[in-house]
Structure 1
Amino acid sequence: MVFKKIEGFDNLEFDYISNFSGGYISRNANLLEQLELNGLTQLILEKSVFGTPIFKLGTGGNKILILSGIHGNELPPQIANVKLLNNLINAYLFNTIYFIPFAAPKSTMMNERTFNSMDLNRSAHIKNSLSNLIIQKIEELDINFVGDFHSTARNSTPGFESIFSSKSPSPESFLMANYVSRDVGSKLIPFDYAGSSYKGAIEDVCNLKGIPSITAEVLCPFASVGKGTVEKSYLQMESFLSYFGI
């Protein structure tokens, strides 16, 4: 993957993970009204028309991924991810942070959970699925740690604010999740072994490959943005980064 410089943003680079997943995110009114439409945010939306963009800030140190939008109708973390990138754009970083605000822009545009009828958090193990392409890029870029950010509705799974992790075969997954759980008050959900509950989650596939990862959930009705949910997702992201001293 060859990252490209972006004119007007000296320390920001980007590339595409796929070119078949693009969408006009601005058509999702529930999401759009929560975004500050400055130059950087508009650039992110423009790049998302043509596929799944990945953005890079910083060099050296740990390589960390902030991921959201695996489910297109889970809006708070996608908004929080854009805000986080905006807030870190001029920061001096001793680590390398990658951002995927919209994993499946087409799904976000349509406010749908699935991408072409596929649940991307049950298919990361399926070769060349969109979520598997994200896994491939995580490996290609030698990313060290992954935070995958979601929202969950009442009477769904898990149905409450939480942090998922596993203790094996990547024990730091549990340490990261425990840190975030204690820091922001999200309930810790640890599994003894990655993928023991179901297959194909980004978090589990990463952990099985020896890349410590967590999944963070905030409570919000699907396809909408509840009061305070963007802020809580943002706090989870901040806490995840603070584990690494960022």
Structure 2
Amino acid sequence: MEFKKVSQFENLEMAYVCDFSGGYISRNKNLFSQIELTDLSKLILEKSVFGTPIFKMGDGGNKLLMISGIHGNELPPQIASVKLFNELIGRDLSHTIYFIPFAAPKSSMNSERTFNSLDLNRSAHVNNSLSNLILQTALKLGVNFVGDFHSTAYNSNPGFESVFSSKAPSPESYLIANYISKDVGSEMIAFDFAGTSYKGAVEDVCNLKGIPAVTCEVLCPFSSVSEGSVKTSIGQMKSFLDYFGV
């Protein structure tokens, strides 16, 4: 993987996690209509046509990875990621932040939960699945912490605003989740050991690999953007960053 500088933005670099996942985000009207078309947003949308782009901001400190769109039909965190990215561009950051705004652009385009019929949050342990490639990327980059951002609908799992973590084998997962829960009010869900409830979640596999990670969920019907859901997701993202003093 080779990061290249983006000429029109100082201190911004990008690379691709893979080149077989691309999609036209603009075809998802519920998603696209909520994105302010700044120069940075246009760049993200353009690069997402050709695969799963990963962007790098800042240098030094902890290496933080923020992911959204693991489920393409969970729209608020994908919108929130682009909004937050626009807020941070050009800032003097004390840590290195990697952004994956659209983990599976093809799925986001079609507002599908799965990618090529595979649930990416149940297959991060499956070699060379798209979510496993994201994990491999995090390991290669030496990422220290991961925040994976989702939305959940009523009568689904978990069905309420929350933050998932585990106490072992990466105990700081629990500390990060506890901070976010107290900061923004998201209900905390903590497992004693990662991966005991089900296998293959990005957060769990990261924790099992020694990268403390959390999963944040906001409440919103799938394939929709309910009032306040994007703001809530941004709040979770900012709280994740605030834990590290960003």
Range into which the TM-score falls when normalised by the shorter chain: over 0.9
- Equivalent residue, structure 1, for 2:109: 109
- Equivalent residue, structure 2, for 1:71: 71
Deviation at 1:90, TM superposition (A): 1.1
- Equivalent residue, structure 1, for 2:89: 89
In 2, distance between residues paired with 1:72 and 1:214? 19
Question: Deviation digits for residues 96-117 of structure 1, max 9, x if unmatched?
Answer: 0000000000000000000000
In 1, distance between residues paired with 2:104 and 2:158? 22
- Equivalent residue, structure 2, for 1:218: 218
User: Aligned-residue CA RMSD in angstroms?
Assistant: 0.4
- Equivalent residue, structure 1, for 2:241: 241
Q: Which runs of 5+ in 2 are unaligned?
A: none
Deviation at 1:38, TM superposition (A): 1.0
Which residues of 2 match residues 37-52 of structure 1 at below 5 A? 37-52=37-52
In 2, distance between residues paired with 1:90 and 1:9? 8
In 1, distance between residues paired with 2:88 and 2:65? 14
Which residues of 2 match residues 201-212 of structure 1 at below 5 A? 201-212=201-212
- Equivalent residue, structure 2, for 1:120: 120
- Equivalent residue, structure 2, for 1:169: 169
Query: SS of 2:177's equivalent?
Result: helix
Deviation at 1:94, TM superposition (A): 1.0
Query: SS of 1:203's equivalent?
Result: helix
Query: SS of 1:158's equivalent?
Result: coil
In 2, distance between residues paired with 1:81 and 1:48? 14
Deviation at 1:7, TM superposition (A): 1.6
- Equivalent residue, structure 2, for 1:232: 232
Query: SS of 1:138's equivalent?
Result: helix
Equivalent position amino acid for 2:196 in 1 = S
How many residues align? The count is: 246
Query: SS of 1:10's equivalent?
Result: coil
Equivalent position amino acid for 1:169 in 2 = P
Q: Is the contact between residue 10 and residue 90 of structure 2 (CA under 8 Å) also seen in structure 1?
A: no
In 2, distance between residues paired with 1:41 and 1:94? 23
In 2, distance between residues paired with 1:52 and 1:82? 14
Equivalent position amino acid for 1:233 in 2 = S
Query: SS of 1:234's equivalent?
Result: helix
Deviation at 1:195, TM superposition (A): 0.1
In 2, distance between residues paired with 1:225 and 1:4? 33
- Equivalent residue, structure 2, for 1:99: 99
Query: SS of 2:10's equivalent?
Result: strand
- Equivalent residue, structure 1, for 2:5: 5
Deviation at 1:10, TM superposition (A): 1.5
In 1, distance between residues paired with 2:31 and 2:9? 24
- Equivalent residue, structure 2, for 1:147: 147
Query: Is it true that 1:62 corresponds to 2:62 in the alignment?
Result: yes
- Equivalent residue, structure 1, for 2:180: 180
In 2, distance between residues paired with 1:192 and 1:7? 45
Question: Deviation digits for residues 182-220 of structure 1, max 9, x if unmatched?
Answer: 000000000000000000000000000110000000000
